[in-house]
Amino acid sequence: MVMFIGCATKNPVTWDSRVANSHIKPLNLAYDEYGKEHNKTILFIHGFGENRYTWRFIVKPLAKKYHIITIDLKGFGESPKTEDEDYSVYDQAKLVQEFIEKKGLKNLTLVGRSFGGGVALVLALMQERGVLKSKIDKLILIDTMSYKQNLPSMMWLLQKPIIGYLGIHLLSADTIAKEAYSYAFSNNNLIPKESVEQSAKMIDLPNAKYAYKQTVDYIIPDDIAKVQKEYRDIKIPTLIIWGRDDVSIPYRFGKRLHKDIKNSKLIILDGVGHMPQEEAPKKVIEAIEKFLRD
């Protein structure tokens, strides 16, 4: 078994293979809704290893004025965790596209964070290429996966064929959750206990660790160098929010993204790490509300 794991080859992770010629099976993604449906819709997409629970400090204040939807990506939270290789950012974007079109969402603002921000960027590029039936009016990207970079140490180790497989299955869900939050926060004293508990609970679900490992293995597209050049084509009004103390995706990537997306605004939050929606939710709400008013 170890020899098989060590020698297994990956299917290509490219736009052509997973967007243009996608064969991903439709799935019913878990989601929550808040606010009134006739209001403008904000759809929130969480990051790697998270689920829709991470937005709880954000959604209720915004639901007073907006129709809010939070989803669990494939493999995370309460969404299906199928035993296949369709866990790349492209595969997730196709499933979110299906969700948007099935729900008939209009007047849509798309919010993506970290891995979910990568999904949102793919959807924005799909719109620029005329692939989406529904229109994204505004885009909000929070500490977003965007350019080719070195992976954080924990994810780098998980990508190693044997070490990663053994690590993900031998470590307890509680340990994984604690390490992830400790890495993501600038001030560990602000980490909500319930966040760690919820994260651990989701990691302990059947097939969750499988999905976790598959996502890590396919997290960087093979054609990222080509795709990242196309961010300059995005015309959607965009707000970029970044924690200055982010060690997973340093804020220099936010500056680069702001430079590439011409119709964008960049806000860097001092004393905040990789998870502004939980470490500094009031600042995030304020930035989102101002952007949507403008």
Domains defined along the chain, listed by start: 2-293 (3.40.50.1820)
pTM for this prediction: 0.93
What distance in Å separates the CA atoms of residue 254 and residue 140, rounded to the nearest whole number?
A: 12
The answer to whether 43 and 100 have CB atoms below 8 angstroms apart is yes
Following DSSP, what letter does each residue of 96-139 receive, concatenated?
A: HHHHHHHHT--SEEEEEETHHHHHHHHHHHHHHTT--SSPEEEE
pLDDT, residue 173, reads: 87
**φ, ψ (nearest 5 deg) of residue 141:** -120, 125
User: In the chain, which residues have pLDDT < 50?
Assistant: 1-7
Residues 56-80 pLDDT 10s: 999 999 999 999 999 999 999 999 9
Q: What is the pLDDT of residue 6?
A: 42
User: Looking at residue 7, what is its pLDDT?
Assistant: 42
pLDDT at 11: 86
> Residue 103 — left, alpha, or beta (φ > 0 → left; ψ -120 to 50 → alpha)?
alpha
Contact 41, 71 (CB under 8 A): no
pLDDT at res. 10: 75
Tokens of 292: 């949507």
